[in-house]
A and B are shown apart, each in its own frame.
Chain A
Amino acid sequence: MKNGKKLVLVACGTGIATSTVVNEAVSKLAKKNNIPVEIIQCKIMEVPGYSDGADLLVTTTVIDKSKYAFPVISARAFLTGIGLDKVEDQILAELQK
């Protein structure tokens, strides 16, 4: 949590392309459901530097989930649309905890 908001990290390899799309999608999803969130968009390599207080990592890269102390959700569905409902439900479930 950060400033009373859920802290969500959105990451991809470069921190500029796919994470930009995912950032916007997660932000919209939270807003639609009236959940205050703070989103940090970064490169996956930068995640450890932001992990203090993070509640969730949403990423388009391969990740070793055991490396993180918070849940990690794959974001590819935001790009392809395949399985999007399920991923949105997963993210909402984490944000509503």
Chain B
Amino acid sequence: MSAISLDENLVLLNLEGKDKFDVIAKMAGNMQKLDYVKESYKAAVGAREKIFATGLPTSSYGVAIPHTDIEHVNAPAICVASLAKPVDFVIMGEECETVPVKIVFMLAMKEQHAQLEILQKLMKILQEDGALEEIAKAQKPVDIKEFVCKKLGL
């Protein structure tokens, strides 16, 4: 399995965004700056979010997992953001119902099926009591990076 990157540079603490597209643009811009994704990634993720929403309500904080097709990606990575103020994302599988999202995992995937284990572990974070709180309340990027890496087995 190709390694997925998640380092401190890929963690954005208290990210300010006026709406979901602003958040997506800032996170994608960060990944592009670090060369994980191509220039086309940002627009592709935004466009995909409009058609295939990725907001996920959980028992604690709302989460979103924006992503797009593999051709926009150079190297697999996950960018994690805790938002200064929650922004609304449409809920996955719903026409227009939204969820206030506090934590965003932006996924840059490079292979069709290789990342199953990581994705499963990511969904476990959504379902585990206290895990999202840990991310939402973290004060330093390194804390989020270490916590998520541990949970994902990276």
Contacts and interface: CB of A to CB of B under 8 A. Distances in A.
Contact of B112 (A16, A62, A76): A16
Nearest to A15: B112
Nearest to B66: A17
A79 B51 contact: no
Nearest to B58: A80
Interface stretch (B34-42, B113-121, B139-147): B113-121
Given A16-B70, A20-B113, A60 B120 contact: no
B93 A60 contact: yes
A96 B54 CA distance: 31
Given A24-B120, A79-B56, A82-B58, A17 B65 contact: yes
Given A16-B109, A17-B67, A21-B119, A80 B48 contact: no
Interface residues of A, number: 24
B135 to A, nearest CB: 16
Nearest to B120: A21
A54 interface: no
Nearest to B128: A81
B2 interface: no
Contact of A80 (B94, B112, B127): B127
Contact of A81 (B48, B67, B95, B127): B127
Given A12-B52, A62-B94, A76-B93, A17 B123 contact: no
Residue with the greatest number of chain B CB neighbours at <10 A, chosen from A13, A21, A61: A13
A18 B48 CA distance: 14
Contact of A21 (B91, B109, B112, B116): B116
Nearest to B119: A21
A74 interface: yes
A25 to B, nearest CB: 9
B57 A82 contact: yes
A14 interface: yes
Interface of B: 48, 51-53, 56-59, 65, 67-70, 91-95, 107, 109, 111-113, 115-116, 119-120, 123, 126-127
20 contacts: A14-B52, A16-B109, A16-B112, A17-B65, A17-B67, A20-B112, A20-B113, A20-B115, A21-B123, A44-B52, A60-B52, A60-B92, A62-B52, A62-B93, A75-B93, A79-B56, A79-B92, A80-B57, A80-B126, A82-B57
